[in-house]
A and B are shown apart, each in its own frame.
Chain A
Amino acid sequence: MTPPPAMSVADTMRPPPEPPDSKINEDLLRIMYHRISPGYLLLLGATILSVVAAGGTWVYQVYIGLGIAGYTHPVFWGAYLITFVFWVGIAHAGTLISAILYLFRAKWRNAINRGAEAMTVFAVLTAAQFLGIHVGRMWKSYFILPYPNQRGLWTNFKSPLEWDTFAISTYATIAIVFLFIGLIPDFAVARDRAKGIRKLAYTALSLGWQGTSRQWKSHTRSVLHLSGLATPLVLSVHSVISWDFAMSLVPGWHATIFAPYFVAGAIFSGFSMVLTFFIPLRRIYGLEEYITDYHFDNIARFILLTGWIVTYGYASEYFVAWYSTVEPEQTSFWLRAFGPYWFSTWVMLTCNCIVPQIFWFKWARTTPWILFTVATLVNIGMWFERYVIIITGLSREYEPAVWGIYTPTWAELTLFAGSFGFFAMLFLLSIKVLPIIAITEVKELAIHEKAHGGAH
C-alpha cells in the first residue's frame, strides 16, 4: 500500500470557523437594532412636535420682531439667554467624563462616556441656536465672525461676547471631534455586523478601521492629547460665558467668583442631565450589566460635590454684597431673596442646595427613582439660577427710575420647551444609529477582568 504524501505544517492548517459574536457586541449593538416600540415613536413624535412648534414660533418672531419675546426696557436679556447658558452648562458633563476622568484613569467612565459625549454635542448645538434667536435678526449673526469685508471693519476682540463666539465654536468643534474619534472603532464593530444600507454607512464612517497596532496606538494618543486639550477647554468655556456677565458693571454680575461658580454649576447640571437620560435608557434596554449602580453612585457623588461648590458660590455672593457696603449690590441681593423674583431664588436654593443633600446616603445614590427625581429638580434649579442672575440683575440696576419687571412670554416658553424637544429628539435618534455605549472601551475592561480572573 502506498503511504499518503507527507503533509507540510501549512497543509494541516485551515481557517478556523468563525465563533459566535461576543456578548458585549450583541448586548450593546442591540440598542440600535432594538424593535422600535410605540412608546419610542410616541416620545419621538412629541419631541418633533415641540421642535416644529418652536420653529413656527421662531419664524413668527422673525416676522413680528423680538417684542413677542417680552424683551422690554430694562431687560433685554431674557429667557433666550438663560436657556443658552443652561444648555452650555449641560454640555459640560460629557467633556468632563470623557476628558478629565480619562486623564485621571477613572475607568468607571467607560460605560457612560459615549452617551455623555453625544449629549455634549447635542447640548452645544441646542445652545448655539439661542444665540441667534436672542439677537432677533438671526441672519446677521455672521457679523460676530471676523471676516474680510469692504468696510475694513473687524470684530472687537476685547468684548466678552466675541470671546463667547470663539469659546462656543471651539467647544462644539472639539466635542464633535472627540465624539467622532471615539466612535471610529465602534463604527467598525457595527460595520462587521451590519447589513444593507447600515453596512454602507458604517463602512464609510469607520474609515477602514481594523484595529491594527498602529491604528490603536494613534487612537489612544489622539484621545490622550484631545483630553489634554479639552480639559482646560471645558473649564474655560463656562468661565468665558460667566465673563459675559462679570465683565459688566451690573449689580450682582460683577464678581470674580463667577468663573469657578459657573463651571461648577455647569458640571452640576451636566451630570444631572446624564442621569436624566441614562436611568430610563438603562431600564428600557436592560443595560444593568453595563451601567451599574456604581456609575450612578459616582455621578451622585459628583452632584453632591458640585452642589456644595455652587452653594458656596451663592453664599459668597451674598457675603461679598454685604461686605462691600455697596448699596446697589446689597439692594440687588436683598431683592433676589425678597423682591419680585423671590420665587425663582427660592426654587434655585431649594433645588440646588437642599435637595442634593440626600446624596449623603448611599441608598439614595443607588435608587434610580430618587436619582431621577433629584436630577430633574437640579436641572430645574439650575435653569432658575440663570434666571435669577440675568433677570434680577437687569431689572434692578442702579437707578430706581429705570427699574422694570420681566415675565417670559408664550413665545419664549415655546422656544424653551422646543429646546428640550430638540435635544431629546437628537438623543432618541442617536441611540438608533450610534453605539451609545462605547463598545471597545467596555470590552477593554471586560477582557482585562477576564484575564485577571475578575481582579479589576
Chain B
Amino acid sequence: MPSLRGIYDFPGPVAEAATKLKNRGFSDLEIYAPCAFPELDSVLDEKPSGVRAWTLIGGLIGVVTGFSVAIWMALDWPIVVGGKPFASIPPYVVIGFELTILFGGLATLVGLLVVGGLPYGTFGQTDKAYSTRFSADEIGLVVSCAERDVAEVDALLRATAAKEVDLVEA
C-alpha cells in the first residue's frame, strides 16, 4: 500500500488535512512534528491519553504504600513515648505524600514509555516516512492509501497548503 507524505510549515493546515482525510475514510494516518502543537493534539486520536491512568494508579499505590509502611513499621517496632499511640497518623502524612509523588512520577515516566511506544523499534531504527526535516521545523503528514486513491490524496494534501508531497518508499 503506497504512502504519501505531505510536508507543511504550520500545524493548522496539517490539522485541516488530517481531518478531511479522516472524513473521507483514510484511517491510516501519521503526523510527525518537531514540537508539540495543541492543534494537532487530538486530530488523530480524540481519546484522552492513557498516561493519566498510569499517573493515577502510581499515585494511589504511593499513598497506600506510604501510610501502610509507616504504620506497619511503627507497630512492628513500637517506640514508647508517654502514652502516645505507636502509629500516629499526622506525621505519616509527610511520608504518604512524598511516596504519592514519587510513585506517581515514576509511573508517569513508565506511562510515557508504554503509551508513547518508547523505546521505538530496534536501536537507531526510524520509520521510512520519518525525515530529519521533522526534527527541524517542518511537519509531516503521512497517509497510506490504495493505489487508486493516490491522485485524490495528493490533490487534497496540496489543496491544504502542503508545500511538498512525495511518495514514501515501501
Chain A CB within 8 A of B159 CB: no
- When C-beta atoms are compared, the residue in chain B nearest to A8 turns out to be B150
Q: Which residues of B contact A181 (CB under 8 A)?
A: 109, 112
Q: Which of B50, B70, B105 contacts A177 (CB 8 A)?
A: B105
* Contact A451/B12 with A157-B95, A221-B52 known, Cβ cut-off 8 Å: yes
Q: Pick the most buried of B51, B105, B113: most chain A CB atoms within 10 A of its CB.
A: B105
Q: Of B12, B92, B111, B137, which is within 8 A of A446 by CB?
A: B137
Interface size on A, residues (CB 8 A): 74
B121-161 to A contact mask, C-beta < 8 Å, 1/0: 10111110011111111100000000100110010000000
CB distance from A77 to the nearest CB of B (A): 20
- Determine if B109 and A443 form an interchain contact, defined as CB atoms under 8 angstroms apart: no
Return chain B residues, CB-CB under 8 Å to A339: none
Which residues 427-452 of A sit at the B interface, judged by CB distance below 8 A? 440-441, 443-444, 446-448, 450-451
Query: Is there a chain A Cβ closer than 8 Å to B82's Cβ?
Result: no
Query: Which of B2, B73, B92, B120 interacts with A207 by CB under 8 Å?
Result: B120
Partner pick for B31 among A15, A213, A219, A448, CB 8 A cutoff? A213
Contact bitstring B91-120, A, C-beta under 8 A = 1, else 0: 110110111111011101101110111111
Chain A contacts for B11, CB-based, 8 A: 447, 451
User: Closest Cβ of chain B: how far from A150's Cβ, in Å?
Assistant: 13
Q: How large is the interface on B (under 10, 10 to 19, 20 to 34, 35 or more residues)?
A: 35 or more
Query: Which B residues are in CB contact (< 8 Å) with A446?
Result: 137
Q: Could you say which residues of chain B place their CB within 8 Å of the CB of A218?
A: 49-51, 111-112, 115-116
Docked-complex contact B73 and A146, CB < 8 angstroms: yes
Take A208-B118, A208-B125 as given contacts and tell me if A219 and B134 are in contact as well, using a CB distance cutoff of 8 Å. Answer: no
Given A208-B119, A215-B118, A218-B116; A229-B94 close (CB under 8 Å): no
With the chains together, A282 CA to B143 CA distance in Å?
Answer: 42
Known: A14-B166, A24-B137. A214 touches B115 (CB 8 A): yes
Q: A residues within 8 A CB of B132?
A: 18, 21, 192-193
Contacts of B19 in A (CB 8 A): none
A106 to B28, CA, bound (A): 36
Contacts of B118 in A (CB 8 A): 184, 207-209, 215
A203 at interface, CB cutoff 8 A? yes
Minimum Cβ distance to chain B for residue A285 (Å): 20
Name A13's contact: one of B100, B102, B147, B166 (CB within 8 Å): B166
| B35 is an interface residue with CB less than 8 A from chain A | yes
For A141, the chain B residues whose CB sits under 8 A away are none
Q: Is B61 an interface residue (CB 8 A)?
A: no
Q: Which residue of B lies closest to A162 (CB)?
A: B95
Set B44, B92, B150: member contacting A213, Cβ < 8 A:
B44
Which residue on chain B has the smallest CB distance to residue A200?
A: B124
Given contacts A208-B125, A220-B36, contact A225 B45 (CB under 8 A): no
Known contacts A24-B137, A188-B135, A210-B32: A220-B41 contact under CB 8 Å: yes
Contact indicator A9/B33 (Cβ below 8 Å): no
Do A156 and B105 have beta carbons less than 8 Å apart? no
Picked from A22, A211, A217, A443, the residue with its CB within 8 Å of the CB of B49 is: A217
Closest to B66 in A: A166
What sequence of 0s and 1s flags, for each residue 317-348 of chain A, a beta carbon within 8 Å of any chain B beta carbon?
00000000000000000000000000000000
Q: Would A157 and B36 be within 8 Å (CB), given that A170-B99, A217-B45, A218-B51 are in contact?
A: no
Tell whether, in the assembled complex, residue B102 and residue A170 are in contact, meaning their CB atoms are under 8 Å apart.
yes
A173 to B69, CA, bound (A): 20
Query: What residue in chain A is nearest B155 (Cβ atoms)?
Result: A9
Q: Contact at B102–A15, with CB atoms within 8 Å?
A: no
A174 at the interface (CB under 8 A from B): yes
Q: Are A219 and B98 in contact (CB under 8 A)?
A: no
The answer to whether B166 touches A207 (Cβ under 8 A) is no
A18 and B108 contact, CB distance less than 8 A: no
Point out the residues of chain B lying under 8 angstroms from A174, CB to CB. 101-102, 105
> What is the CA–CA distance of A226 and B111 in the complex, to the nearest angstrom?
11
- CB contacts (< 8 Å) of B40 on chain A: these are 213, 216
A residues in contact with B10, CB < 8 Å: 447, 450-451
Given A209-B120, A212-B30, verify A230-B154 contact (CB < 8 Å). Answer: no
Shortest CB-to-CB span from A15 to chain B, Å, is 5
Please give, as numbers and ranges, the residues of chain B lying within 8 Å of A229 by CB-CB distance. 55, 59, 100-101, 104-105, 108
B74 (CB) vs chain A CBs: closest residue: A157
Q: Are A440 and B36 CB-contacts (below 8 A) given A9-B150, A229-B108, A451-B12?
A: yes
By the criterion CB–CB under 8 Å, are A225 and B52 in contact? yes
- Chain B positions within 8 Å of A155 at CB level: 73
Contacts of B109 in A (CB 8 A): 177, 180-181, 222
Q: With A13-B166, A156-B79, A451-B10 in contact, do A210 and B120 touch (Cβ < 8 Å)?
A: yes
Contact A207 B113 (CB under 8 A): yes
Given contacts A158-B74, A211-B134, 6 further A-B contacts (CB under 8 A): A163-B98, A181-B112, A225-B55, A230-B105, A240-B94, A451-B10
Interface residues of A (CB under 8 A from B): 8-10, 13-16, 18-19, 21-22, 24-25, 146, 152-158, 162-163, 166-167, 169-170, 173-174, 177-178, 180-181, 184-185, 188-189, 192-193, 203-204, 207-222, 225-226, 229-230, 232-233, 236, 240, 440-441, 443-444, 446-448, 450-451
6 A-B interface contacts by CB (under 8 A): A16-B7, A207-B119, A212-B127, A217-B42, A218-B115, A447-B11
